[in-house]
Amino acid sequence: MDKSTGDIRIIQAVDAHIEKHIGKIAFVLDEIDSDLVHVDVYVVGPSHDRPYHCLVTSGMSEKAMPVPEGALDGRFAELMICLPSDWPLTLEAWRDETNYWPIRLLKQLARYPHENETWLYNGHSVDRSDPPEPFAENTRMTSVVLLRPRLIPAESQIIHAGKNKHIRLWALYPLYQEERDLKVRDGSDRLEELFDRRGVTELLNPDRLSVAPLM
């Protein structure tokens, strides 16, 4: 399998975008050994105006995804998720999967389209396993959907990494199985409508109430 050490243009573009639009970078989870693409995770610590951690990938956009005709704007992407301010973010804490699974999810999904020769875009969902199993012992969530971020403005959701390279920033929304089934049956617009009614954002709450019963 092809190895990667990263693309300095993407690294610099993502770094500058985060500092300008999200906040000061606290630290970076630098990947040591990378297959296909080099995926780092940037961690922005909580602030007065944004009392939660923001985690953003850098490296998924190293290679273009094989998009359908007419969807060239979706070739390049990076991912983000937000975690509560008291979420443990240390190497010792990450030995416990209940603390590490959101980071694992970011890194796995950033590599997913390149490993499977597919693409990820707004409304696309990915199951953790078949049959469905929760991500960890502290949640019943079994899958994830990519949607537009709700906690950063629209103008901050495109990373410009060059004249002809524009990277979409998608947020991860972990789902309960019944929410995933609803999305497949009724579409991602319906799921987003229910998220809006319940105030669900990319700020992870592993035991939030499911929106599916609102049907």
Tell me if 48 is assigned to some domain. Answer: yes
Lowest mean pLDDT among 2-6, 28-32, 37-41, 95-99: 2-6
Q: Is residue 2 part of a domain?
A: no
Strand segments (E) across 30-142: 40-44, 52-58, 77-84, 125-127
Q: What angle do CA 80, 81, 82 make, to 5 degrees?
A: 130
The domain containing residue 50 runs over which residues?
8-214
pLDDT, tens digit (0-9, with 9 covering 90-100), for 153-200 = 999 999 999 888 999 999 999 999 999 999 999 999 999 999 999 999
What is the pTM for the complete model shown?
A: 0.94
What's the total number of domains in the chain? 1
Question: Considering the domain boundaries, does residue 1 fall inside one?
Answer: no
Backbone phi and psi for residue 53, each to the nearest 5 degrees, phi listed first: -80, 145
Q: What is the DSSP letter of 138?
A: T
∠ CA 198-174-129 to the nearest 5 degrees? 145
**Residues 95-130: tens digit of each pLDDT:** 999 999 999 999 999 999 999 999 999 999 999 999
Q: How far is Cα 104 from Cα 94, in angstroms, rounded to an integer? A: 10
The answer to whether residue 121 sits within a structural domain is yes
SS3 119: coil
